[in-house]
Amino acid sequence: MKGMLIHTVMVIAQGVDPHAPAVARKAMKSSPGYDEYYPDFRVVREWEPFVSGGVRGEIRVKGLRGEYVVAEAAAPFHGETADAILSLKALLHESAMATVGRYGSLDLREEFTFYCVTEYGDLEREVDESRLLITQLVKDETATLTDFETDSAFTGSVRYEPDDLAVIDWDGAVLFDRNGEFDDEIALLELANVQLLSLRSLDGTLSREIGRFSTEVAWGAAGVWRLSRTLRSIVGVRAKSLVELDAIGDSMRLYGEWYDAKMYALAARKLSLEKWRATVAGKLATLEKIFEMVATLQGELYNIILEITIIALIVLEIVLALTGRS
């Protein structure tokens, strides 16, 4: 099997121009007529040649919403074993990491690999002969896999025309298309990975904030003014998180039976986006419960202060009365 290998690494960006020129793309397999639904990737760096480990390739950098950066390292591949092809992927990975690291932290990132095949004879025979290899590539695995794993990998496939096929898993996708029209698939799968990166980042932020708020509302650290600051902070974090979660959902809206919609739905399932969204939603609900507990605690403290104040005023009145008599 041979074609073009494109390895991508995505990070949260720092200072990327959201108004840079849009990334050009070829004609789509299916056009619903709503361009606003297409991922709005922007050019950060055009394709540039590079050499790594004796391999010549090209690399470019794309941005999305001024918040995320995707580095794409590409080179031709040819091999009959996963070891040979994945060794090329490793070289492209090094170049992509070095490039994308200039734009953001590599501590939190997503990676995905595309194996774009244009030269093949009969597709059915090609896929049948390369069934194990395709499974190994999309799973980034060199071991011989069971038939169960292979069958499972091919449940993640979608076709548009008789001579094209996309096999998608959590780590990569093997794309067959004689016309080389891969732009849609790549953009949609990159978007799904960016959404996964967004959800992972938001999940981590919420976990840290929940831990911080839990400490702040501990009885030993509680105070009226501290609780007021905590309430304001919780409101701010929850509002910002809700906006981010909404933006993640709004960044892709494809409905119906279009090829793009099927492609995106498959990618979302393979990357467990709904499970991540559910996890984030659960932590937002936890924040709401903490807010309610803090508000209740604050109300109780206010009542205690009010009662103490009333008692103090009564005592003061009594003292003044007694002092006046004497």
Instruction: Label each residue of 187-256 as H, E or C.
Output: HHHHHHHHHHHHHHHHHHHHHHHHHHHHHHCCHHHCCHHHHHHHHHHHHHHHHHHHHHHHHHHHCCCCCC
What are the structure tokens assigned to 228, written together? 């007021």
Q: Are 210 and 283 in contact (CB under 8 A)?
A: yes
Per-residue pLDDT of the chain (326 residues; tens, 9 = 90+): 899 999 999 999 877 887 888 887 765 565 555 556 677 889 999 999 998 888 899 999 999 888 899 999 999 999 889 999 999 999 999 999 999 999 999 999 999 999 999 999 999 999 999 999 999 999 999 998 898 888 888 887 888 888 899 999 989 999 999 988 898 889 889 988 998 998 898 888 888 888 877 776 665 455 555 667 677 777 777 777 777 777 666 655 554 457 777 888 888 889 898 898 889 888 888 888 877 777 777 676 777 778 888 888 888 888 888 887 55
Q: Are 298 and 235 in contact (CB under 8 A)?
A: no
Amino acid, res. 96? A
Q: How far is CA 88 from CA 103, 121, 123, 140, 264, in A?
A: 24, 24, 24, 12, 27
What are the structure tokens assigned to 314, written together? 């009564």
What are the structure tokens assigned to 193, written together? 């990975």
Q: Are 38 and 162 in contact (CB under 8 A)?
A: no
Task: Specify the pLDDT at position 48.
Answer: 95
* Burial category of 105 from C-beta neighbours within 10 Å (exposed 0-12, middle 13-18, buried 19 and up): exposed
Instruction: Kindly state the greatest CA–CA separation across the chain.
Output: 114
What are the structure tokens assigned to 220, written together? 């030993």
What are the structure tokens assigned to 144, written together? 């011989």
Rounded Cα gap, residues 178 and 3, in angstroms: 11
Task: Specify the pLDDT at position 255.
Answer: 47
Rounded Cα gap, residues 182 and 41, in angstroms: 15
User: Considering only CA atoms, which of 93, 72, 74, 70 is closest in space to residue 20?
Assistant: 70
46: three-class secondary structure by DSSP: strand
Q: CA geometry: angle at 66 spanning 61 and 68, to 5°?
A: 55
Task: Specify the pLDDT at position 252.
Answer: 54
Strand partners, 165: 176
